[in-house]
Structure 1
Amino acid sequence: MSKLMDKRDGTTGTGGSGQGTVKKLIPYGGYYTNKTVGHDPELTETGPGTPTGEYMRRFWHPICMSMELTDTPRFLKIMTEELVAFRDGSGRVGVLHAHCVHRGASLEYGAIQERGIQCCYHGMVFDVDGTCLHVPFPAGEEAEAEKYACSIRQGAYKAVERNGLVFAYMGPPDEEPPFPEWEGDFTVLPGDELVPYSNFQHCNWLQVQDNAADNYHPTALHAGKNVVGGHYQGTTFDEVGAASMEVAPDMQFIPVQNGRSLACAGARRVDRDRLFIRVQHQALPNLSLHAYTSEDGSRKKLFSRFHIIRWTVPVDDENSKMIGWRVMGPGIDTRGIGKKEWVGYESIDFLEGQVAMRRPERFGQYTIEDMPPIPQNHRERANYKEAQYAPGDYEAIISQRPIAVHALENPTKFDAGLYMFRKLLRDAVRGSNPAASPAGFAEWLRSVAGAPNSYCSGNVLEIPLAADIKDEVAQRRRISKGIVAILTEGEHLKGEERAAWVRGRLEELEQSARGA
């Protein structure tokens, strides 16, 4: 980003985010940049009554893994609300406000019943919808007990389970949207499966979501050559051996689906004969869909689909978690790199050693009771020094401050994706884009039978290197935009019909680029 500098006093006219501040660009000038302005409350704060909090509550969100529901209730905080989740004896999942509506004792100490949950303090029993089922009045006062039970209701949210994750809708019941079954089954191929995982993040939700739209950071953050003294595990860096992922991508960021989402198309040259175009999909408010993370580009590939499906869920304004699925199996993982046994609660295979717990050993599956507590402060972790040697996504994201200060950023052109996504979110929150409003989203979901298409895809095309760098850059950008245009044109198609049509059009695009 260019700055006009006054050569007389070494100042610039604007700050990095165009806020109208004055900065002195002089050696040892920390004094002139030591004032920290406030964060952006409109987008970062998600508590009840906040603009983004009210927007997000009109969507379904994963709140925990199914494995977290045991024979005792699970205390959770989601968008600053204290909740308990549990599975009662009949198999139903309940998500209730944590504090009993009677006297405020936490239901995390309640006893799970065949139907509902019983408060430990006075024995009130609440159903999964918040109905009071039992009040422990003395014998002979049953009528009064029933009258009292009808006068109270525990706060409750509707919950559903999908492939090892528990989702909740936390908005007004009369505005509940269809559950978004993206493409029906996220197009998992035969032999592949959705494996759930959850990773805690000691920072605001938006900077975690920003990282998904930041397609440049792997070239530095995940490069083994940048690890101090080689202190890292073998599969943690260099994108598990995929050389093509170390190449800085030529990015095109294109709003799609009427501003409800963003296609992030990155073109990387594998070698003189093949071009790798990876399209990631960011959907409002907090969903990101990622193509194969371990692509080496060694063979032609058209319309390869989901490898990571994740939501960034606010815990409170200074904590959040990534929760979603890792797609495992030979259909997507053509190199056989994935380790299913490393995917789960506070663990995921491609970030081995890079999550909040940062366990250095290779690990297997644990029950929820076996898992150690999540560290409260990232600098107090037992292996903090190892994190300094080999920082990963977790360290880079949380170290931006508990809530990143956007006004202090100095973006470059390759940051365009996350800034564009922030704008889509702001327009949706403010209601300036009706299509992305909760009502607009719900109407769209109903129109596609709850199963919208995703732009997520990985593609390796046999397109030779252009004669010179100027033509090569133009070619990369033309191909990336062409792929997004094809996906947009095929929006009306579904399933295998869409996949076959897209692959046919990609073949045509490849032949056109080759001059055939």
Structure 2
Amino acid sequence: MNIKSEKAEGQKSSAAGAVPKKLVPFGGYYTNKVPGHDPELTETGPGTPMGEYMRAFWHPVCMAIELTDTPRFLKILGEELVAFRDGSGAVGVLHAHCVHRGASLEYGAIQEHGIKCCYHGMVFDVDGSCLHVPFPNGEEKEAEKYACSIQQGAYKAVERHGLVFAYMGPPDKEPPFPEWEGDFTVAPTDELVPYSNFQHCNWLQVQDNAADNYHPTALHAGKNVVNGKYQGTTFDEVGAKSMEVAPDMHFAPVQQGRSLACAGARRVDKDRMFVRVQHQVLPNLSLHAYTSEDGAKKKLFSRFHIIRWTVPVDDENSKMIGWRVMGPGIDTRGIGDKSLVGYESIDFLEGQVAMRRPERFGKYKLEELPPIPTNHREREHYKDAQYAPGDYEAIISQRPIAVHSLENPTKFDAGLFLFRKMLRDAVRGTNPAASAENFADWFRANAGSPNSYCSGNVFDLPEAETVEQEVANRRALTKKLVAILTDSEALKGEERAQFVREKFESLEASMKA
């Protein structure tokens, strides 16, 4: 993939031209003009190219604990919505403004079936149909006629493992709900624990971060924490220093360009090699292998540790929402802490969250919904974040919408630039396989449970005698590993896992020979 070509696309889509580059000492004057953002990929409101593409998929919109005895106001893909669970247990996601006169249903009363508008008493079911119009006695037929003439905007919603998902596209084009590998690869001993973290920036720069496998060498390295003021933002704080080693990366579009395999090989010590494969799925899903790997023991084809969607709130806000897989099956070191995972809270790399842990747990319990700070510089723990910045600080400080034409990428940025290109191809229709219609057909062909490339692997591979051979080995290992995963696509479940592990064993043996 040519990074320059995708950068040129970002510049082409910007409202203004690229900033001229002046390599002049103290020459800030020559680079003080900020061009526009890339609307094709960053804007997601109704009618926008990316917004229409995203509406063809299921997205988590809130956590189930956000549904209480009052409606929950939401903003998703630029649309104002309310979510609620009625007395019968049905979950509704409706347009916020009542179709009658526009009052917000966030002030409505939840009914046994549906929700009642506070202003004039119309009652709407979870599918948007009007159940009741409070006309005077004797005018029931007229009320029924009126009720049949209106429909509140509504989206189909489902609950899965503590998250509420909504499909916001045309009803006749609804895709299957994607239950990746049937059970999200969760072992019988483990569970999916939901979480949601608000991000004060555009969705794409949050998603970019997931494909940026090089930033842990700086952002998440203990050596970069100022004055030893650790705050849970580094990998070495959980004994996973191998995650801070600069990896040799191989990025491969897979599944006909519907997703991206990001394979990174790192040397743990002179005897072991750690290869982690992240799986980025269009448009906004990230599947991550074990994040607390210390590489101390051989491990082949370990599966999901984090399942995360980056959901646009509007063009300048988004949220990371998904599940942490908790339990001994995936967390072989017992590092995870379920009591720290939830709404505006996470148990690892704490800097993913706007509200730092002392602020969050000094005032609120896990089951509570604290107010989210609106300005990152006005947070109570702003200075602490300067000592030990995390993903949140790095991502949201790129501006509310990152300006792609100002970027000067290195080869290590290839993954995120490739993912942007894949998004662009999907939106423009230049990759038909990634179109919304063909994506839905692919889900159906896989019974709603496609395979993932996500895996964590520790190989018993001695260090090569020369630096050149070591680099060659790392690069070869990542490519061959992704090729094996591709060869396993036709298999399912344990049959696939056995096939992959046997092939990985053979690969290890061949590289030792």
Global fold match (TM > 0.5):
yes
2:365 match = 366
2:354 match = 356
- The question of 1:246 aligning with 2:244 is answered yes
Question: 2:281 and 2:369 mapped to 1: Cα distance?
Answer: 32
1:113 match = 111
- Please give the residue correspondences for 1:309-458 in structure 2 after superposition, counting only pairs within 5 Å: 309-352=307-350, 354-360=352-358, 363=361, 366=365, 370-458=368-456
**What CA deviation, in whole Å up to 9, does each residue of 1:33-79 have, x standing for no partner?**
00100000000000000000000000000000011111110000000
Structure 2: which amino acid aligns with 1:366? K
Distance 1:239 1:314, change over 3 A: farther
Identity rate of aligned residues, in percent? Answer: 81
Question: 1:353 and 1:205 mapped to 2: Cα distance?
Answer: 17
- The question of 1:213 aligning with 2:211 is answered yes
2:158 match = 160
| SS of corresponding position for 1:289 | strand
1:302 match = 300
Cα deviation for residue 22 of structure 1 reads 3.1
**What CA deviation, in whole Å up to 9, does each residue of 1:84-112 have, x standing for no partner?**
00000000000000000001000001000
2:277 match = 279
Question: 2:160 and 2:190 mapped to 1: Cα distance?
Answer: 16
The answer to whether the 8 A contact 1:17-1:410 is kept is: no
Cα deviation for residue 311 of structure 1 reads 0.1
Structure 1: which amino acid aligns with 2:146? Y
- Please give the residue correspondences for 1:53-202 in structure 2 after superposition, counting only pairs within 5 Å: 53-202=51-200
Question: 1:460 and 1:204 mapped to 2: Cα distance?
Answer: 35
Cα deviation for residue 379 of structure 1 reads 1.0
Query: What TM-score does the superposition give when structure 2 sets the normalisation length?
Result: 0.95
1:512 match = 510
2:5 match = none
| SS of corresponding position for 2:357 | coil
Cα deviation for residue 176 of structure 1 reads 0.5
The answer to whether the 8 A contact 1:15-1:21 is kept is: no
Structure 1: which amino acid aligns with 2:268? V
Question: 2:232 and 2:369 mapped to 1: Cα distance?
Answer: 24
Question: 1:498 and 1:407 mapped to 2: Cα distance?
Answer: 42
Query: What TM-score does the superposition give when structure 1 sets the normalisation length?
Result: 0.95
Question: 1:411 and 1:395 mapped to 2: Cα distance?
Answer: 20
Question: 2:355 and 2:402 mapped to 1: Cα distance?
Answer: 22
Structure 2: which amino acid aligns with 1:380? E
Question: 2:74 and 2:23 mapped to 1: Cα distance?
Answer: 45
- The question of 1:487 aligning with 2:492 is answered no
Question: 2:409 and 2:124 mapped to 1: Cα distance?
Answer: 51
Question: 1:47 and 1:505 mapped to 2: Cα distance?
Answer: 45
- Please give the residue correspondences for 1:453-464 in structure 2 after superposition, counting only pairs within 5 Å: 453-464=451-462
Question: 2:237 and 2:172 mapped to 1: Cα distance?
Answer: 45
The answer to whether the 8 A contact 2:56-2:167 is kept is: yes
Cα deviation for residue 417 of structure 1 reads 0.2
Cα deviation for residue 21 of structure 1 reads 5.3
Question: 2:110 and 2:228 mapped to 1: Cα distance?
Answer: 49
Question: 1:373 and 1:160 mapped to 2: Cα distance?
Answer: 26
Cα deviation for residue 362 of structure 1 reads 7.7
| SS of corresponding position for 2:482 | helix
1:9 match = none
Distance 1:444 1:91, change over 3 A: same
Question: 1:363 and 1:185 mapped to 2: Cα distance?
Answer: 32
- Where does structure 2 lack aligned partners over 5 or more consecutive residues? 3-7
- Size of the aligned set, in residue pairs, is 502
Question: 1:404 and 1:172 mapped to 2: Cα distance?
Answer: 30
Distance 1:239 1:58, change over 3 A: farther
**What CA deviation, in whole Å up to 9, does each residue of 1:250-273 have, x standing for no partner?**
111000000000000000001111
| SS of corresponding position for 2:148 | helix
Structure 2: which amino acid aligns with 1:72? T
Cα deviation for residue 363 of structure 1 reads 3.7
The answer to whether the 8 A contact 2:359-2:381 is kept is: no
Question: 1:43 and 1:352 mapped to 2: Cα distance?
Answer: 28
Question: 1:190 and 1:381 mapped to 2: Cα distance?
Answer: 40
Structure 2: which amino acid aligns with 1:402? P
The answer to whether the 8 A contact 2:93-2:126 is kept is: yes
Structure 1: which amino acid aligns with 2:429? G
Question: 1:60 and 1:16 mapped to 2: Cα distance?
Answer: 27
Cα deviation for residue 469 of structure 1 reads 1.1
Question: 1:448 and 1:223 mapped to 2: Cα distance?
Answer: 40
Distance 1:459 1:261, change over 3 A: same
| SS of corresponding position for 1:480 | helix
Cα deviation for residue 233 of structure 1 reads 2.7
Distance 1:355 1:267, change over 3 A: same
Equivalent of residue 36 in structure 2, options 20, 38, 54: 38
Structure 1: which amino acid aligns with 2:26? Y
**What CA deviation, in whole Å up to 9, does each residue of 1:172-207 have, x standing for no partner?**
001101111100011111211100000000000000
Structure 2: which amino acid aligns with 1:313? V
Question: 1:382 and 1:175 mapped to 2: Cα distance?
Answer: 46
- The question of 1:232 aligning with 2:230 is answered yes
Question: 2:20 and 2:287 mapped to 1: Cα distance?
Answer: 39
| SS of corresponding position for 1:221 | coil
| SS of corresponding position for 2:98 | coil
Distance 1:88 1:485, change over 3 A: same
Distance 1:428 1:384, change over 3 A: same
